[in-house]
């Protein structure tokens, strides 16, 4: 492992909390959130490098770069006498096999692996990211608000406004609205807070993935356009091996993008049909479908 001169594990701040950037990332997993026994390792991050390999990042600095260790090298790095049988090593091997480290897939993957999180709040997007996704969320918040309150109540525009009804100083007015909501959803009024929380969370996850797709689409388009230019280059186009590789990459990328876009279109259709005859049960079916794709490769 390459590291800056004079570096020791004593330099690490073991009490550091999770940064918003890590919390909102697909490819970084701060190990402080997990029950790691080795203190210096708790300060590290598990990351996906440019080759999508899982590496343990012991430190990162703008001047010295990133100090990374392969998971298989951890016993030697930390002097574990149990070697690959060390509890932290067993956990790291499992984590290294996960395809993504975003909070939504981690909720499912960690549960399936039997790995507990030190604080469930670690598996939530940052407030800044949630605010970023407001526009994406409108298409999902709108139908709920419209179905429950119609177009007359200008005060209720978001999930936060619905939640505020539970603390409304006008208790009679709030209770009437909440009863109406429960009746339309065919659930008990005491079950409303949980329903609203789950509804917001599942469609926040969909908004999160949509934003990521929108962010990378220009880069992918530019990459494919660049390959088209290479095909026209006299020196390049006579290299049959290169042309075949480029054709394979183009096909693979286009098929992946079509598959992902198709999933979002299916979710949109399913969500719209859900509102034809809304109930908590219909929502749970849509929720199960969306969660099922959180860990699909």
Residue 113: strand, helix, or coil = helix
Tell me the H-state helices in 119-188: 127-132, 134-149, 159-164, 171-185
Rounded to two decimals, the pTM is 0.79
pLDDT at position 62 is 82
pLDDT at position 6 is 42
- 267 or 43: which carries more pLDDT confidence? 43
CA-CA distances (angstroms) from residue 209 to 53, 85, 245? 21, 36, 29
How many CB atoms sit inside 10 A of residue 43's CB? 20
Rounded to the nearest 10 degrees, the angle between the axes of helix 280-294 and helix 240-274 is: 160
Q: H/E element holding 58?
A: strand 54-61
pLDDT at position 280 is 76
Locate 68 and state its tokens: 């990374």
| Of 99-108, 179-188, 205-214, 227-236, minimum mean pLDDT range | 179-188
- Which of 47, 43, 48 has the alpha carbon at shortest distance from 32? 43
Q: H/E element holding 276?
A: none
pLDDT at position 7 is 39
Which DSSP letter does residue 124 get?
S
Residue 244: strand, helix, or coil = helix
Q: Give the angle 259-261-265 at the CA atoms, nearest 5°.
A: 115
């Amino acid at each position: 492992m390459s590291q800056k001169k004079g570096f020791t594990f004593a330099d690490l701040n073991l009490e550091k909390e999770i940064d918003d950037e890590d919390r909102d990332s697909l490819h970084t997993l701060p190990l402080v959130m997990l029950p790691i026994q080795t203190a210096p390792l708790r300060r590290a991050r598990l990351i996906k490098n440019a080759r999508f390999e899982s590496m343990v990042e012991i430190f990162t600095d703008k001047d010295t770069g990133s100090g990374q260790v392969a998971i298989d090298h951890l016993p030697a790095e930390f002097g574990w006498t149990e070697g690959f049988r060390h509890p932290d090593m067993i956990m790291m091997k499992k984590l290294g096999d996960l395809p993504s480290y975003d909070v939504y897939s981690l909720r499912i993957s960690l549960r399936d692996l039997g790995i507990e999180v030190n604080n469930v709040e670690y598996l939530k997007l940052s407030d800044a990211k949630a605010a970023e996704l407001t526009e994406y969320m409108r298409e999902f918040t709108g139908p709920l608000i419209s179905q429950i309150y119609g177009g007359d109540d200008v005060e209720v525009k978001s999930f936060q406004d619905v939640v505020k009804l539970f603390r409304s100083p006008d208790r009679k007015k709030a209770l009437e609205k909440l009863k109406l909501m429960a009746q339309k959803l065919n659930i008990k009024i005491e079950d409303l807070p949980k329903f609203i929380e789950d509804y917001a969370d599942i469609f926040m996850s969909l908004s999160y993935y949509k934003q990521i797709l929108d962010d990378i689409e220009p880069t992918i388009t530019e990459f494919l356009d660049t390959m088209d230019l290479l095909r026209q280059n006299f020196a390049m186009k006579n290299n049959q091996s290169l042309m075949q590789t480029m054709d394979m990459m183009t096909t693979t990328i286009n098929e992946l993008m079509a598959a992902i876009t198709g999933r979002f279109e299916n979710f949109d259709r399913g969500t719209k049909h859900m509102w034809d005859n809304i109930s908590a049960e219909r929502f749970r079916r849509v929720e199960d479908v969306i969660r099922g794709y959180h860990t699909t490769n």
